[in-house]
Structure 1
């Protein structure tokens, strides 16, 4: 399978998974599931600025695709980040807010897109740090 197909396939899978879970847990408030809306970004920054967040998200998504073509070996973390960014972008543009529903009580409420964003950053950080250590 071509790397390009894997990259976009993973990102699309994450978007679909994110949107399905947000729809399924829309009105659920039980256990670790607590449906809320977020008009800001992580930890509420830019709260209420849907247009600004939309522009930032669009810019980030374009950069992620650009970096995939520039560094295809980073396809997995970049696909995770693209899928996560796109899932939340869809919410912002069509709903005016992001739907969050996973409530671990000790952390801000989040969703599947957020999870893949964090996993993508961790993998990308690991790859970049270990690559840098090899050159020391």
Structure 2
């Protein structure tokens, strides 16, 4: 249950920040927070990352429902073990649901985090996107650690 609370916290912060941007900024308006590095920019995306598959909402609905189902299934399977893996799943779930809410109600996703890293103007993203990225990294790291433990156990036998 505690992992679902983490999911709800992510959804809350994702939706409240998107609401703040939508209600207080014009589309494409930008406020520089850290010059040359970080801005809040009101942007909309009707596609996936980097705007790919723009306007294909039916595909995002299907994929998101499948991903949410798989994540919930695995959260139920591993609820009594692998706490860090569960954290990763909870974070992914929060990100997936956060963007899904936008797609259902707005037919697009509100993005606003605009960063420039080493001169590269990274595509504008949001908290849900960040959660998805961090969650996937958590899951990959936990899978690698588990695999290394298994190999270490097999080597000692």
Alignment TM-score, normalising by the size of structure 2: 0.80
Q: State the partner residue of 2:154.
A: none
Cα deviation code 1:27-46 (max 9, x no counterpart)? 15201100100001112222
Q: State the partner residue of 1:47.
A: 54
- Given candidates 84, 107, 127, the residue that maps to 2:122 is 107
Give unmatched runs, 5+ long, in structure 2.
33-38, 152-157
Q: State the partner residue of 2:138.
A: 123
Q: Secondary structure at the match of 1:133?
A: helix
Give unmatched runs, 5+ long, in structure 1.
none
Equivalent residue pairs, number? 132
Q: Secondary structure at the match of 2:115?
A: coil
Find the structure with the greater CA-based Rg.
2
Q: Secondary structure at the match of 1:94?
A: helix
Runs of 4+, deviation exceeding 3 Å:
none
CA RMSD of aligned residues (A): 1.1
Which structure shows the higher helix fraction? 1
Which structure shows the higher strand fraction? 2
